[in-house]
Amino acid sequence: MRMVIVVGGSVFPKVSVLGSRIANVEPTDAVRLLETVADEGKSRGYVCLSNVHTTITGVFDSSYQAITNGAYMALPDGKPLVWALRLLDVGPSRRTNGPMLMEEMLDRAPVTGHRHFFFGGSEEARDKLLARYSNHNVVGCFSPPFREPTPEEDREHAAMINDVNPHFLWVGLGAPKQERWMARMAEQIDAPLLLGVGAAFDQLSGLKERAPTWMQDRGLEWAYRLAQEPRRLGKRYVMTNSMFLLGLSGQVIAHRLGGLFKRFGRGSQGSGGTAV
């Protein structure tokens, strides 16, 4: 399934990977599109950073998949999703990694004038982020309680964010919690975009190390994170990676066979037409 989204005269397609609609855009184009939305000033909802875990979560949880599919963009954060898009005959050359996207847009803030708000992460990460980006148009930062907020707290948080009028609200609550929160809060928050970036807060604050570039480029960031947190991530990675490979293999085979049948059908129709 393919869709095409138009914004500011620019077009970007969305391609279904196991039912999750992923934006087929290069990282530089993603930055340009998001900044265009900010300049327009109109709320476009939320942006998801998709990977194997979020995609497989969507396969087994239709309500979650509906949330990610309802995003303005679901960008291919994980390298395997870039490979998946390319196996389906489309796809960017590079992934749009959450920490890299956040870092790039914050570094551009003194030039673009865009205002940023951090929502999520620990208090330690919050303080370190504020210190690092004190001169980058950061207008607010809040670490909510780990538990689910009450409806009254949701309203208070929305009012706090709207009061400082950010262009970008960066949400670091972790998947799938942050996507559910963004979908629930998008209509209450005036910011043009809410962006769910998960572990980016910890990585940009220096609380967690990023995988070496060579591992990121080869789709091995999961192995680096697994070595850091084997108990928490071990079972998840084994299960989700296996299910992703199995499901994607089936989709790619069906896609290739469908292409062959379509071409064969056109050829048969052409021959039949000539004979008649």
Residue by residue, pLDDT tens for the chain (276 residues) are 566 555 555 568 999 999 999 999 999 999 999 999 999 999 999 999 999 999 999 999 999 999 999 999 999 998 999 999 999 988 899 999 999 999 999 999 999 999 999 999 999 998 999 999 988 999 999 999 888 999 999 999 999 999 999 999 999 999 999 999 999 999 999 999 999 998 899 999 998 888 788 887 777 787 777 787 888 778 778 899 999 999 999 999 999 888 766 776 665 454 333 232
Q: Are 125 and 202 in contact (CB under 8 A)?
A: yes
The tokens describing 30, both together, are: 């993603």
- Stated length of the chain: 276
What span, in angstroms and rounded, lies between the C-alpha atoms of 265 and 70?
Answer: 35
AA letter at 97: N
If phi > 0 it is left, if psi is from -120 to 50 it is alpha, else beta; for residue 165 that is left
What span, in angstroms and rounded, lies between the C-alpha atoms of 48 and 54?
Answer: 9
Q: Is the pTM of this model over 0.85?
A: yes
201: nearest Cα among 118, 79, 114, 94? 118
What span, in angstroms and rounded, lies between the C-alpha atoms of 58 and 31?
Answer: 25
